[in-house]
Structure 1
């Protein structure tokens, strides 16, 4: 490059220096930025973690190497454990199944959840990162009291669970390290005299030891199961079996129940019963009992209820309402005999009596004046399922369905358009006692009190001031209402037109002979004006007059509010009208001239002049005047004939003026 200009030659080195300085500055700045985003160590924040785990006996290798990101994702949206993969899948990345014994078919159920059910993923005071040392870890899931009874297996005490069980998986059931018999014989040598003597010289090594022994602990000597048959305890095997030296050593000397009856008296087992349980009758004692030992009382092959449910599975179905006699105490044996009974269904007592042995309070209803027939006949199971039910009080079905099974005629009577809520919901026992009552129709209490139980707010109204309807005052609700249901609103016994007239019978003749009948009366709608229970107004009116009338006569109400009102119309409709019927039109209480004449003196000069000598007896005041309200000061009707409006009657009429 040619630098001919001297000035440029002098400036060029400076430019080179500035460029170099800029490059150096950018490089240093980049390094600084890089340092700002450099990852911190996890323990720079998780100091408590380091303090807690690094002092422990056993530390996970990746924790020791501070390789947290082998398991955890560095960033996350929520402050959680942010694992890279699900627990077990994550562990198996390093710990191959075959190396840790996870490749056998029978898997430890704890591993169906997570490895950390047993192991701490970071560090532990126990070997193999176990959360707790030895068998105490197993007791976290397996109840300790089942494994440390009065007599405990020595190997369990000294070597723990791992002496017999694999921790992860096994080819054998129950995670055993070897086949059951082989495992036991590893310690209990079959050739030794002590072993032979303990087993009556029978070749028990060909069988499974756990048939008679609990491998962990027992309340019995020799780790025998809880309930042991006397010949087993005394090693008197030949009481039932062939000689140990015979070809069929384990064969029995008798068949079926005959062998049992050598010791157990059949008559005693029947306890006077002539109805026999089918296994007992057929001599199949072993259907229910183990002939040697059992973890259940009386050598039963299963827990009492479970044993019964093996055959009677339908009785064991889970229900919403369970019978305590079934689920608690002796279970099925609370009510049933196991071998034979005097009563059907193998019951201990008569059907009713057995129920009363617990439900003594219910028995007292037998003394009631009126007793429900199934209950009086002690047929509790007519209504109740003795084993359990999905309905309240162990009813066989919804209460009303149970009732309709006998009271079939009632169903059509009760299922109406308007149903009493207890009937609609199927709760007959809201009002009726299903067992017995001193009241008629098995009512829980007198009808006057019964309705008040639910309708308290309504019944309270009867105590205040005002007018009570006689049946309401007497709390005789059934005078008007059907307690079950009706096709008429309000569950009343009949249409109002009929129902009300049963008491107010004098109205019937009046309705027939009067020219004018109020439409609510003719339509049988008494409650349009009257309260059927109580009112603060006279005659049980829903509101005082004229308000009660103006609810229907809205056009008159509007005019009274906006126009000049006729005083009687504004004060009380009954000043002019009858409320129910009248021989006069428009329900007037008397002929219109007489009615108007009560307030207006027809003979008064001013009246005569205003009506230009027209005899009021010859005309209807309503021909010209509106009896309720008008925009006109004289209450004239809205549309007036012009001569009439100008009082020029002579234009049309022959008028004699005074």
Structure 2
């Protein structure tokens, strides 16, 4: 109760439509708002951050609660809800033509507007708005993207469950429909963490330069310890270098090694991401 009184006092100067008015009937909602940045932002100098900023109606609703005009988020479509959020959060990257909105996902499907989730929410997407799931942003994402979560069940995977990485480290949930939901289309997303292979090198691996890291690597998980798209290294290399087994000194035409050769390409071609010394990426 003390907490509710504090919330109402914070909003007292706002006039009709503030939590001081709305909390008379909607006490639970007013109390849950106390821990959120929306409540903290409301000051006498910044009185517009109030219930009516999102829900509309204001004084008319106070005079006649049954007159309508109140925006009830649980009953509205994603574009309507996102437009309400966008009246303040108008950044270009939160534009209404995002792939998520076009799929029927609204801001409050992922973000907590009321409630303590904002205190514990992951701040990597919006510094002042927590995710609905208290564990992490990733736990919120996999609520819909369960098929992606299954990829992390492979023996080798990015450490999502351990919270070493989160979905939003690589993905931008506010990206437009025409843009894949990644922070960057190039390998820059990967080398932001994997700086040891970032380059540039005198001799670059063309596949990685043209098609990016995902030409060889499975970003979420793989049976291969290097997160390769193929469990066997040779199978991956031969998907581009198909002629190699036919003339390479290490292979007979049928495939097995000869002359003491070895079928693991990277035993010789070690610096496979790029080299400043050898164009064949040899040791």
Aligned residue number for residue 282 of structure 2: 636
* Equivalent position SS for 1:508: helix
1:415 aligns with 2:34: yes
Q: Closer, same or farther in 2 for the Cα pair 1:547/1:516, shift >3 Å? A: same
Aligned residue number for residue 87 of structure 2: 453
Aligned residue number for residue 588 of structure 1: 228
Aligned residue number for residue 197 of structure 2: 556
* Counterpart Cα distance in 1 of 2:161 and 2:208: 21
1:576 aligns with 2:216: yes
Shift in Å, 1:447: 2.2
1:478 aligns with 2:108: yes
Q: Mark the runs of 5 or more structure 1 residues left unpaired by the alignment.
A: 1-382, 384-389, 638-658
Question: Would you say how many aligned residue pairs link Structure 1 and Structure 2?
Answer: 235
* Counterpart Cα distance in 2 of 1:409 and 1:462: 30
1:391 aligns with 2:10: no
Shift in Å, 1:612: 6.8
**Of residues 500, 508, 516 in structure 1, which corresponds to 2:149?**
508
* Equivalent position SS for 1:509: helix
* Counterpart Cα distance in 2 of 1:625 and 1:460: 43
* Equivalent position SS for 1:569: helix
Q: Mark the runs of 5 or more structure 2 residues left unpaired by the alignment.
A: 1-7, 44-48, 252-256
Shift in Å, 1:420: 3.2
Shift in Å, 1:522: 5.6
Shift in Å, 1:577: 0.3
Bigger helix share: 1
What are the superposed Cα offsets for residues 103-144 of structure 1, whole Å, 9 maximum, x if unpaired?
xxxxxxxxxxxxxxxxxxxxxxxxxxxxxxxxxxxxxxxxxx
The aligned runs of 1:153-302 (5 Å cut-off) are: none
* Counterpart Cα distance in 2 of 1:605 and 1:475: 54
* Counterpart Cα distance in 2 of 1:519 and 1:568: 26
TM-score (norm 1): 0.32
Shift in Å, 1:539: 3.0
Shift in Å, 1:503: 0.9
* Counterpart Cα distance in 1 of 2:197 and 2:69: 57
What are the superposed Cα offsets for residues 249-297 of structure 1, whole Å, 9 maximum, x if unpaired?
xxxxxxxxxxxxxxxxxxxxxxxxxxxxxxxxxxxxxxxxxxxxxxxxx
> Does the 8 A contact of 1:448 with 1:476 survive in 2?
yes
- Where relative contact order (Cα < 8 A, 6+ residues apart) is larger, the structure is 2
Aligned residue number for residue 400 of structure 1: 19
Aligned residue number for residue 335 of structure 1: none
TM-score (norm 2): 0.67
